Structure 1
Amino acid sequence: MPAAPHEKPLDALRTLLRSFGQIVLQRNAATGACVLAAWLVSDARLACAAFTGAIAANVGAMLRGYDCTDTRNGLHGFNGALAALAAFTFISDDARAMAVAILAATAAAWLLGPWERLLRSRGQGFYSSPCLLVTWAWLPFVRPVSAHAPASEMPGWLGPLPGLLAGIAQTSFASSALAGALIVVGIAFSSMRAARFALAGAALASSAQWLVAADSASFDAGLLGFNGALTALAVADCGVLAALAGVGVSVALQQATLFYGVPALTAPFVVATWTTRRIMRDTRRTCTNGAERSPDDSVAVGHRKQASRAALLRER
Structure 2
Amino acid sequence: MHAAATDAPSAALRTLLRSLGQIVLQPNAFTGACLLAAWWVAEPRLACAALMGAVAANVSAMLAGCRDDDTRAGLHGFNGALAGLAAFSFIRDAATATAVAILAATATAWLVGPWSRWLRARGLSCLSSPYLIVTWCWLPMITSGAQPVSLASLHSPGLTQWSGGVLAGFAQTGFGSGALAGWLVLTGIAAASCRHALWALGGATLASAAHVLLGATPHSFDAGLLGFNGALTALALIDCGVVPMLGGVAVSIVLQAAAAHFGWPAMAAPFVLATWCVQWVRHRVMRGAIADGSAQSMESARPVTAPVTRTN
* Structure 2 match to 1:209: 211
- Residue by residue, what CA displacement relative to the aligned partner does 1:110-152 show, whole Å, maximum 9, x if unpaired? 1111101100111111000000000000000003899xxxxxx
* Structure 1 match to 2:154: none
Any conservation in 1 of the 2:252–2:271 contact (CA below 8 Å)? yes
Shift of 1:7: 4.5
Query: Unaligned 5+ residue runs, structure 2?
Result: 147-157, 288-312
My pick for the range that moved more, 21-30 or 157-166, is 157-166
* Structure 1 match to 2:221: 219
Shift of 1:30: 0.7
Number of aligned residues: 274
* Structure 2 match to 1:124: 124
Any conservation in 2 of the 1:83–1:104 contact (CA below 8 Å)? yes
- Residue by residue, what CA displacement relative to the aligned partner does 1:189-248 show, whole Å, maximum 9, x if unpaired? 110010011100110111101100242211111011111100000000011111110000
Any conservation in 2 of the 1:92–1:145 contact (CA below 8 Å)? no
Of residues 239, 242, 258, the one that matches 1:240 is 242
* Structure 2 match to 1:78: 78
Question: Aligned residues: percent identity?
Answer: 61
- The SS at the match of 2:9 is coil
Distance 1:134-1:84 versus aligned 2 partners, 3 A rule: same
TM-score by structure 2 length?
Answer: 0.84
Higher relative contact order (CA 8 A, sep 6+): 1
What does residue range 61-100 of structure 1 map to in structure 2 within 5 Å?
A: 61-100=61-100
* Structure 1 match to 2:18: 18
- The SS at the match of 2:24 is coil
Which residue identity does 1:104 align to in structure 2? A
Q: Using the alignment, how far apart are the partners of 1:168 and 1:253 within structure 2?
A: 19
- The SS at the match of 1:9 is helix
Any conservation in 2 of the 1:90–1:145 contact (CA below 8 Å)? no
| The structure with more radius of gyration | 2
Q: Using the alignment, how far apart are the partners of 2:9 and 2:129 within structure 1?
A: 32
Any conservation in 1 of the 2:129–2:269 contact (CA below 8 Å)? yes
TM-score by structure 1 length?
Answer: 0.83
* Structure 1 match to 2:296: none
- Residue by residue, what CA displacement relative to the aligned partner does 1:284-305 show, whole Å, maximum 9, x if unpaired? 39xxxxxxxxxxxxxxxxxxxx
| Coordinate RMSD, CA, aligned | 1.9
Which residue identity does 1:178 align to in structure 2? L
Any conservation in 1 of the 2:200–2:232 contact (CA below 8 Å)? yes
Bigger share in helix? 2
Query: Unaligned 5+ residue runs, structure 1?
Result: 147-155, 286-316
Q: Using the alignment, how far apart are the partners of 1:181 and 1:172 within structure 2?
A: 13
